[in-house]
Structure formats: structure tokens, C-alpha cells
């Protein structure tokens, strides 16, 4: 039996995730000129409020340096601000500024419309795919080493 990359699930998931991310990036880049890491930082802050870069790194599955650079660019644009973390003074917390919240409101509308288009494209399989992704995510969380 020959290894068939086109039927290797991890490969297919990674390639498809990248393609869908780029499709979505084309939408929000027009509105805000954000990169994928910047979008992920903004979206996480919009959902969670003030958190540390470490927390975002764990949630958005990007290297700390990528998240830090994205946060610095967003801070330079006045979309986020940094402050001392109230629970651990060694950490910095970042949060959306007023301008960041306004932009995230517009981006949330774009994301909702994009999600609706994807769900329509998937048709009756949409619910099954979401459940399968949840199962895969839960399995990965059980087997991956705990982050520090």
C-alpha cells in the first residue's frame, strides 16, 4: 500500500484551513488591512477582553513571536493598548481600544456573513463537520502536552 498524501487527514485539514483562512482574509483585509495573525489577536480580544499575549498564543495557535509582532502592529495603529496584568505583574495584558472595538464590530459583521456563506456551501453537512471538528479538537487537547 502506497502512502496517499491527498487522503492523509492531517494534511488535508491543514491545507483546507489555510485556504479558508485566506478566503476570509481577502474579506477583512479590504475593510481593515489586517494580516491573519492581527485578525486572530483582534478577534480573541473582542471575545475575551483584556488578556496576556501568552493567553492569546495558546488560543489562536500561533507562536508567541508572531502574536507579539501582531500586537505591536495593532498597538501602533491605535487598535489595542498594553498594560500591566492585574494578576501577574510580569505579564502584559492587551485589550482593544475604542477604535479597536469599533473596527471589531465591523469585522464581526464580515465574519458572520462569511460564516453564513460557508454554512450554505456545506449544506446539510455543516452540522456534522462542526461536530467532527469538535471531536478532533478534544482529542488533540487530550494528547498534546500542557503549555506553560
Condensed to tens digits (0 to 9), the pLDDT of residues 6-64 reads 999 999 999 999 999 999 999 998 888 999 999 999 999 999 988 888 889 888 888 99
Does residue 24 belong to any structural domain of this protein? yes
Condensed to tens digits (0 to 9), the pLDDT of residues 57-100 reads 888 888 999 999 999 999 999 999 998 877 777 778 899 999 99
- Structural domains of the chain, count: 1
Q: Give the span between the Cα atoms of 19 and 11, in whole angstroms.
A: 12
Does residue 147 belong to any structural domain of this protein? no
Does residue 79 belong to any structural domain of this protein? yes
Does residue 132 belong to any structural domain of this protein? yes
Full 3-state SS string of 16-37: HHHHHHHHHHHHHHHHHCCCHH
The grid coordinates listed for 112 are 458572520
What pLDDT was estimated at residue 119?
96
The grid coordinates listed for 68 are 507579539
Total-model pTM: 0.84
Does residue 97 belong to any structural domain of this protein? yes
Does residue 148 belong to any structural domain of this protein? no
What pLDDT was estimated at residue 84?
81
Higher local confidence (pLDDT), 126 or 54: 126
The grid coordinates listed for 83 are 498594560
Does residue 108 belong to any structural domain of this protein? yes
| CATH number (domain holding residue 76) | 1.10.10.10
Long-range contacts of 4-13, Cβ-Cβ distance < 8 Å, separation of 24 or more: 13/136
Full domain range(s) for residue 49 = 5-142
What pLDDT was estimated at residue 92?
82
Amino acid at each position: 500500500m502506497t502512502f496517499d498524501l491527498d487522503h492523509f487527514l492531517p494534511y488535508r485539514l491543514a491545507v483546507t484551513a489555510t485556504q479558508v483562512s485566506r478566503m476570509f482574509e481577502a474579506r477583512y483585509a479590504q475593510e481593515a488591512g489586517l494580516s491573519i495573525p492581527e485578525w486572530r489577536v483582534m478577534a480573541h480580544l473582542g471575545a475575551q477582553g483584556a488578556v496576556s499575549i501568552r493567553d492569546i498564543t495558546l488560543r489562536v495557535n500561533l507562536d508567541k513571536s508572531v502574536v507579539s509582532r501582531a500586537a505591536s502592529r495593532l498597538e501602533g495603529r491605535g487598535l489595542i493598548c498594553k498594560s500591566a496584568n492585574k494578576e501577574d505583574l510580569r505579564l502584559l495584558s492587551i485589550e482593544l481600544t475604542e477604535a479597536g472595538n469599533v473596527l471589531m464590530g465591523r469585522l464581526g459583521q464580515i465574519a458572520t456573513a462569511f460564516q453564513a456563506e460557508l454554512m450554505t456551501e456545506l449544506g446539510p453537512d455543516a452540522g456534522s463537520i462542526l461536530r467532527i471538528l469538535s471531536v478532533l479538537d478534544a482529542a488533540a487537547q487530550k494528547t498534546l502536552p500542557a503549555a506553560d
